[in-house]
Amino acid sequence: DCLGWFSGCDPNNNKCCEGYVCHWKYPWCRYDL
């Protein structure tokens, strides 16, 4: 199971769905703009 849009995530263990990024400053799944 991957994490969807705006789910809290761990930048060191990114489990976001494909197409999303997890940044240390913004620790939630979001589009890579």
What predicted TM-score, i.e. pTM, was given to this entire model? 0.82
Using alpha carbons, select from 8, 2, 1 the residue that is nearest to residue 29.
Answer: 8
CB count within 10 Å of CB 16 equals 20
Tokens representing 18?
């494909």
Place of tokens 């199971």: 1
Ordered DSSP codes for 1-33: --B-TT-B-BTTB--BPTTEE--SSS-B-EE--
Mean pLDDT by 10 residues, the chain (33 residues): 97 97 97 87
pLDDT (0 to 100) of residue 27? 98
